[in-house]
Amino acid sequence: MLNRGIQPIAPSSIAITGEVRTPEGKEPYVVPRALRDDELPEIVAGFRKAAENTQAAGFDGVEIHGANGYLLDEFLRNGSNKRSGRYGGSFESRARLTMEVLESVSSVWGGNRVGLRISPLNSYNSMVDSDPIGLFGWLVARLNDFDLAYLHVMRGDFYRQQSGDVLTPIRQCYEGVLIGNMGYSGEEAARDIAAGKLHAVAFGVSFLANPDLPERFKMNAALNQPDPDTFYTFGPEGYIDYPAMTI
């Protein structure tokens, strides 16, 4: 499927496996067009412009999305980046685009108003890397130079195809604020923060299903279970119809 007739772009011409839901039904993913090196400055400029727009709109800061098979993640991982040259091959070359984006966005906001989200193990959008621990350990050590507001790490894999402990080596390498995400209970989050493994934990799906999640954690109350069939749908169902606690 083409997006309004526009072919998607990627580091290499590798399609996501499987099918995508469209208004006309399920269709196979199309093969993206590999970006040329001389096109990448325009990509970086786009991130800078977005940062300027958010600043003009009154935001407090921005989080750069480097996870889940989106463009920066595609460049980072060698399952999707088969390039050679300045933007492919070594850890340094595959991370070059991410570093350029961080430098550009930080020049607008200052590093302490910029966060970065990564997903070393997540196979969403057909993502994989042959050495995720080595790659992301190398990456986060270099993030120390940016004085970021935080590093936001998805610790697992939606599809459970890849596993491992990425947070321990990241904590060892990264000197800044570290936020964990994915599959935490309130108890585990509190325990890991108290132990100094993390500074904070981000909750997504459980917050969607529990509008009063902090109060439920405080009271050790049961949680509503999320309904995946209502994810990414139109209308209020699955977004604003989960019940709050009755006391």
- List, as one string, the DSSP characters of 175-194: -S-EEEESS--HHHHHHHHH
Is residue 212 within 8 A of residue 244, CB to CB? The reply is: yes
Instruction: Give 6's strand partners.
Output: 3
The active-site residue, picked from 70, 87, 150, 184, is: 70
- Report the sign of the C-alpha dihedral through residues 155, 160, 162, 163, in that order: positive
CA dihedral 237, 239, 240, 245 (to 10 degrees): 110
**Is 70 assigned a catalytic role?**
yes
CA–CA separation, 56 and 96 (whole Å)? 27
Q: Which of 179, 61, 38, 42 is nearest to 110 (CA)?
A: 61
For residues 136 and 31, give the distance between their C-alpha atoms in angstroms, rounded to a whole number: 27
Element of type H or E holding 115:
strand 114-118
Backbone angles phi, psi at 74, to 5 degrees: -60, -40
Q: CA-to-CA distance for 10 and 24, rounded, in angstroms?
A: 24
Active site positions, annotated: 70
